[in-house]
Structure 1
Amino acid sequence: MCLETSKRPGGRSARVRDAVRQATLAELAEHGYGGLTVENVAERSGVHKTTVYRRWGSVEGLISDALELARDEPWPVPDTGTIEDDLRGVARLVRNGFDDPELGPVSSAFVAAATQHPDAARALHDFFMARHDQAADVVRRAIARGELPDTVDVREVIRVAVAPIYYRLFVAYEPVTERDADRAADAALAAARAGVL
């Protein structure tokens, strides 16, 4: 099976890419990064193995492509009317994503892949940049409402709010409670208000 060029958006190439992406996510959810294989993705997607190898090259290529496609998907950024609740909502979204039985293993696999391969690391970086930019809307709204100074780095507030969650999960290997997520958001907000961010 030969992939067609991108001249036919929504054509066979898009269907193949979507099938492979869905198969990659399903395999990651079931087997994690360590159990992901090109062969299993090909079988699950119904796309010939040689096509998958030619287009994606490796497991890391599959992961990078899945992250690239996910990068621009909308994210349910909170809009409660206060920066405190919005920032806590962002931190809870991250925490709940890793706690979700289907999404959690996939998200963890993306992080694991990024520690092992530079292409996956670049794709994860780009994914986070897009997510941080989307989430930074809560900070932009807070600045417009006069809750934060206009000198604050809107993306840095988000990074500081979610970083403790990643630290607990992937460095300390500790569970993250809702209270932990709230505390991380509150610390980021205090730093923003103090002019540190």
Structure 2
Amino acid sequence: MEEPGSIRPGGRTARVRAAVLRAAGDALAERGFAHLDLTDVARRAEVGKTTVYRRWGTVTGLVADLLTDMAEQSLPRARTGSLEGDLRANARLVRKTLADPRQGALFGAIIAAATSDTRTAEALHRFYARRIREWVPCVEEAIDRGELPEGTDAEEVVRAVSAPLYYRFLASGDPLDEATADRAAKAATAAARAGAYIKDEQARPIL
């Protein structure tokens, strides 16, 4: 079953969707999930509230579509020719998003909502699963080049890059600068090369 608002329209319908999602993102960043209201979103987007209720139905349906759109609009993965270069690009993209006043507040609101709302959590999980799949090939290509040992879990390597950045964003409050992003990429690369993410315990790391 399709999530509300998940059918990709064209023409005027596409413009309405873009306006509504932009308004929903603004409202989330400003006021948080608890205060997200479809009528307010319709007013911000300058569209009829009937249109918003008919198409998205609920706040969670709207947030799910917003996350889908954010995944679609994300920059494609980098192709630098080296694992550390690719992972550094990934880390810098994550850092830039979380450090941005609007985007950071938006993600914070969605993550907070996901802790208590099942549908929002599911939508968030789909968003991150999609982003991880986008970056997995950079690890697979590193394995093919001989940079990493056979049996390396590509998804775990990608997760290892962003995990310390999200920790700073959500828990510690430590600075999120490019040096931090680069360090996260370097650490994930070193760990992967040492065999920390090998699925098969029999596989040998590259020394």
Match of 1:157 in 2: 157
Matches within 5 A, 1:146-185: 146-185=146-185
Match of 2:113 in 1: 113
Secondary structure in 2 matching 1:135: helix
Cα 1:108/1:177, change in 2 over 3 Å: same
The residue type equivalent to 1:95 in the other structure is: R
Matches within 5 A, 1:31-46: 31-46=31-46
Cα 1:30/1:190, change in 2 over 3 Å: same
Match of 1:93 in 2: 93
**Any stretches of 5+ residues in structure 1 without a counterpart?**
none
**Any stretches of 5+ residues in structure 2 without a counterpart?**
198-207
Aligned-pair CA distance for 1:89: 1.7
Indicate the RMSD between aligned Cα atoms, in angstroms. 2.5
Whole-angstrom CA distance in 2 between matches of 1:7 and 1:182: 38
Asked if the contact 1:75–1:131 (Cα under 8 Å) also holds between the matched residues in 2, the reply is: no
Match of 2:79 in 1: 79
Aligned-pair CA distance for 1:6: 9.2
Whole-angstrom CA distance in 2 between matches of 1:21 and 1:119: 17
TM-score, normalisation: structure 1: 0.84
Aligned-pair CA distance for 1:8: 9.2
- How many residue pairs align between the two structures? 193
TM-score, normalisation: structure 2: 0.80
Matches within 5 A, 1:129-140: 129-140=129-140
Encode CA deviations 1:12-64: one digit per residue, 9 max, x unaligned.
54443333212112223443434432222010122322432343233322211
Whole-angstrom CA distance in 2 between matches of 1:6 and 1:77: 24
* Percent of pairs with identical residues: 49
